[in-house]
Amino acid sequence: MKFVTDIGFKNKKALIRVDFNVPLDNNNNVLDASRILAAKPTIDYIIDKGGACVLMSHLGRPNGHNPKLSLKHILEQTQQCLSKEVIFISDCIGPDVEKAVKAIKPGDVLMLENLRFYQEEVKGSESFSKKLSRLGDVYVNDAFGTTHRAHASTATIAKYFSEKCAGLLLKKEIQSIKNILVSKKQPVTAIIGGAKVSSKIPIIKNLLSIVDNLLIGGGMAYTFIKAQGGEVGASIFESEKTTECLELIKTAEKKGVSILLPKDVIAAAEFKNSSTTKTIRASKISQGWMGLDIGPETEIEFCKTIKESKTILWNGPMGVFEMKRFSNGTKAVAASVAEATTNGAYSLVGGGDSVAALKKFNLYNKVSRVSTGGGAMLESLEGKELPGIKALMR
């Protein structure tokens, strides 16, 4: 695979797939510009090398043409992030767009309208991809967050370019996944949490061949606890997944992976911050009570393992961290990942909620890498080949 640094851009137009799918408030203000900022190094690099940039992205799920999800809402923020003027075109294919692209000069940045205004985008349409491909000399993919999708702009389009490459952001993301999957620094620890075990089973399966320790927290832990005969009261659990959880535990034993489940939990009578709570054994949660955070004993055990690790992956909170009362476990884990990183470990954190937790506890800059792609990161760690990355290799 080629990277931007392997290609000359002088007097060329780079058609860059970026991920500007940013959250907007009701007045169309950008709530978090991290994704726009993440694409800046690639754009700056191409301009610095004498090229021009044509940016294409999706925003939300517009289901046809939907002005509420126009990329013009993020134009001002994009100009601020890039510290330069950006030309906006209110379509992404067709003669008018081709004319506008033809007119740009080295150093210019042009942004196309939301790709998903066309259903052909998500269908991976050949003809739509071909039309898009007329808008650049080189195809650059820098949208890691969408590389697990076989869409027109992320995968199909690549075959219409003789020159194609990964941007600087995509390069970093690929490298960070590799740092986990083929880590040279042991012990390797994965911390997996969140609500649903069903969405995490494939990644756990793959990680069992890679990690030394697997720490399981959050709501998903209760399916494991129930599978082992524990009483989980009103905690969330997925009854149809108990057999698979038992199999994972057996596989871990065979492979010598140490699986750590919560020993104690903070249980609540109601799903609210002001609820009555008690600290109890994780396998003895009485009827009507629900485990909403890991308990202090578990916190100590998890944090000790994390601090002794040299490679760390964290995906998913340890409890309902959005409520202060149930945020201690997630906060302690985040702090331990940060401390281990300061002491030389490599750490990768991904998934919307874990990233939100890092921000909430002011630890965002204290880990080695925060992934910009939730689904794409999970699928990579499941061992899958992502369509957007595969397309750049052909």
Q: By CB under 6 A, name the binding residues for ligand AMP.
A: 194-196, 199, 218-219, 236, 291-292, 316-317, 319-320, 322, 351, 353
Q: Which is nearer to ligand AMP, 291 or 387 (CB)?
A: 291
Name the one residue in this structure whose structure tokens are 């992956």. Answer: 313
CA dist., res. 242 & res. 240, Å (int): 6
Contact present, 368 and 346 (Cβ < 8 Å):
yes
| Least Cβ distance, residue 292 to ligand AMP (angstroms) | 5
| Least Cβ distance, residue 369 to ligand AMP (angstroms) | 18
The catalytic position among 60, 374, 375, 383 is 375
Contact present, 342 and 141 (Cβ < 8 Å):
no
Percent helix / strand / coil, the chain, rounded to 5:
45, 15, 40
| Least Cβ distance, residue 260 to ligand AMP (angstroms) | 16
| Least Cβ distance, residue 48 to ligand AMP (angstroms) | 38
| Least Cβ distance, residue 284 to ligand AMP (angstroms) | 16
> 123 is written with which tokens?
């269908």
Has 230 been annotated as catalytic? no
| Least Cβ distance, residue 77 to ligand AMP (angstroms) | 26
Q: Which is nearer to ligand AMP, 219 or 295 (CB)?
A: 219
- Burial (CB count <10 Å: 0-12, 13-18, 19+), residue 317: buried
φ, ψ (nearest 5 deg) of residue 141: -105, 120
CA dist., res. 109 & res. 79, Å (int): 10
E strands within 3-72? 13-17, 52-56
Name the one residue in this structure whose structure tokens are 């689904």. Answer: 375
Q: Which is nearer to ligand AMP, 124 or 291 (CB)?
A: 291
Query: What's at 40, amino acid-wise?
Result: K
Q: Which is nearer to ligand AMP, 190 or 292 (CB)?
A: 292
The catalytic position among 12, 196, 284, 360 is 196
Has 61 been annotated as catalytic? no
Q: At what angle do helices 168-181 and 34-48 cross, to 10 degrees?
A: 120
Q: Which is nearer to ligand AMP, 51 or 218 (CB)?
A: 218
CA dist., res. 307 & res. 318, Å (int): 17
Q: Which is nearer to ligand AMP, 195 or 246 (CB)?
A: 195
CA dist., res. 223 & res. 76, Å (int): 46
Residue nearest to ligand AMP (CB): 194
CA dist., res. 30 & res. 78, Å (int): 10
Q: Which is nearer to ligand AMP, 320 or 345 (CB)?
A: 320
The catalytic position among 17, 35, 116, 149 is 35
Alpha helices in the chain (DSSP H): 34-48, 75-82, 95-103, 119-123, 126-133, 168-181, 201-207, 221-227, 242-255, 296-307, 328-342, 352-360, 374-381, 387-393
Contact present, 42 and 14 (Cβ < 8 Å):
no
Q: Which is nearer to ligand AMP, 62 or 317 (CB)?
A: 317
Has 291 been annotated as catalytic? no
| Least Cβ distance, residue 205 to ligand AMP (angstroms) | 17
Has 375 been annotated as catalytic? yes
| Least Cβ distance, residue 322 to ligand AMP (angstroms) | 5
CA dist., res. 316 & res. 319, Å (int): 9
Q: Is the C-alpha dihedral spanning 361, 364, 367, 370 positive or negative?
A: positive
> Which positions are annotated as active-site residues?
35, 196, 352, 375
